[in-house]
Chains A and B, each alone.
Chain A
Amino acid sequence: MKLKRISEYIWEIPKQGDMNVSAVVYSSSSLIESVQKDLTLEQTRNMACLPGIQRAAYAMPDAHQGYGFPIGGVAAFDMENGVISPGGVGYDINCGVRLLRTDFFEKDIKKHKKALLDEMFARVPTGVGRGGSVHLSSKEIKQVCIRGAQWAVEKGFGREGDLERTEEGGCIKPANPENLSPRALSRGSGQLGSLGSGNHFLEIQKVVTIYDRNIAGAFGIHSEGQILVMIHCGSRGLGHQVASDYIRLMENEIGTGGLPDRQLINAPLKSKLGREYFESMNAAVNFAFANRQMIAHRVKEAFQTITGTPEGMEQVYDVCHNVAKFENHKIKGREAKLCVHRKGATRSFGPGHAEIPEVYRHVGQPVFIPGSMGTSSYVLAGTQKSEQLSFSSTAHGAGRVMSRRQALRSFRGEKIKRELEIKGVDLRAKGWRCVAEEASQVYKDVDEVVKISDSLGIGKRVIKVDPIAVIKG
């Protein structure tokens, strides 16, 4: 495929054939090779062929091959001719990241670290199957789907103040659980409050570098060595089932003819089925907000039990990175309401945006980019420039470069655990295999991903953190 380099960090697939707009890839000399090796470019081009797509189809710096859209794909559609696609959101609806700050320093918790890790591991269910911390009736699950993190706060998981520091206030609207299948509700009923498995994790981190003290300060992060807690998970089986159900419903109603990839199935935004998917997806978004709200509460309890005080432990923010949302963006100088799909991409609203909580409005929305197991993660701030470059979006993680199968052949879980311990990172996991599959070497260099975001100006680098203790889902 013809790929034109526009500048140091921007590549373009010019509009051709069935494409309605061009495709733009944000990458660098060292990362572009891995993007060219798999189907990332073809999938980015396919996004550009969908009806009603505006401006361009974008691939974020951590983009890699997905199904339908690439992971790291961003596309916005107009209300009149545009579509909504479950494959443009992903199966793990509202997979996202929540960050907690504390007043502790590494030296304060050093002697408690192992006990703290054990306590968190005992309190936060991980792994596959039901395993949630509460068991809910269908009626109650529907309430979770309507009210999201608010539901969790009312049930005693966390505080009111957490909600304003969550994307959409932890409760996106309109959410309608009435169109969720019994199977989706059944998969969700035993999983609320659990981390799941795969690339999901819970991490105690220490601040290692602060690039912008003013913005970091606004996020409540003031010093190197300060302890943070990061939670990465999503909507569990409920969200996966919503995606699978609507892919099938759309196939049966609309048919799969003419699509370059069956996973690109979509419905017009104006259609009944399109609206139903949107409202069902939002129900799963709320389930995930409630899920992270409950996990965060369990983390605070673990700190309380082991250190005697959770003092200073506060939510910085909670971001979704698999979602489709209606937002206003400028198209040819005019404000337009668009449906922005972010599949493995983080919203990155710049300073002044009304959707950012007041406490952060002067510095931009907090953005979290988790690295891989045992490597650094980053806190960024949204920028105004991202509006023009990526519909206010940036990367969401490191992005895989090696298959799980190859990882299993190359690494051994036990050995990785020992290597991490030498680096001062303690690890708890249900099995060794998932540890090997998630070895840091299978991911792109997160430092490079963040450098591209910062240099382009789609997300400003603010803080770098390193893990000191990890729970693998």
Chain B
Amino acid sequence: MKVKYRFLNHTADAKFQAYGHSLEEAFQNAAEATANLMWSTKKVKPRIKKKINITGKDREQLLVMFLEEILFLLDSDDFLVRSVKDLSIRKEKADYALEACFLGDKISDESEIFGSVKAVTYNDMIIEENDHYLVQVVVDV
């Protein structure tokens, strides 16, 4: 994928589409898009690893919970996400399970943060598979 994600216009909130050859890659790129709404991921050093495990009842809920993790780590631990590694999604009976590892660093005086995301919404959410995967998300800012 040449373009990992792109931001779209939305009156009050922020909206983006993320792409991938697999659902995993699209989710990973959605995480980068979310983080880049708040800080420049390129400027965050990959100093600390955070492993996460999530279960959701469908892919939409899984995506909301996954992106919400970025907000949770920021608010509870001053952690800035740089990138996502080893993301896997499995279908387990009625649920979907996601495992991933966030790489990033703690906020410091040098961190340049330009905004916050309050929450990840289902509004206008798309998870689509054609010749590649596309996810569309609106976040409340």
Contact = CB atoms under 8 A, between A and B. Distances in A.
A400 B78 contact: no
Contact of B38 (A128, A191, A243): A128
Interface residues of A, number: 49
A129 B78 contact: yes
Interface in A106-161: 127-130
B10 A403 contact: yes
Interface stretch (B24-32, B67-75, B81-89): B67-75
A187 B115 contact: no
Given A130-B75, A262-B125, A244 B11 contact: no
Interface of B: 7-14, 38, 57, 60-61, 64-65, 68, 71-72, 74-76, 78, 107, 112-116, 118-123, 125, 138, 140-141
Interface stretch (A223-231, A325-333, A426-434): A426-434
Nearest to B106: A129
A371 interface: no
A431 B114 contact: yes
Given A128-B74, A187-B72, A252-B57, A71 B12 contact: yes
Nearest to A255: B57
Contacts, number: 120
Given A198-B116, A404-B141, A248 B12 contact: no
A214 to B, nearest CB: 37
Given A129-B75, A262-B60, A434 B114 contact: yes
16 contacts: A67-B121, A67-B138, A90-B140, A187-B76, A190-B76, A190-B78, A196-B116, A198-B115, A198-B118, A240-B71, A248-B64, A261-B123, A262-B125, A400-B12, A404-B13, A405-B7
A190 B121 CA distance: 24
B11 A405 contact: no
A430 B111 CA distance: 11
Interface of A: 38, 64-68, 71, 90-92, 127-130, 183, 186-187, 189-191, 196-198, 236-237, 240-241, 243-244, 247-248, 251-252, 261-263, 400-406, 430-434, 437
A237 B115 contact: no
Contact of A67 (B8, B68, B78, B140): B140
B9 A405 contact: yes
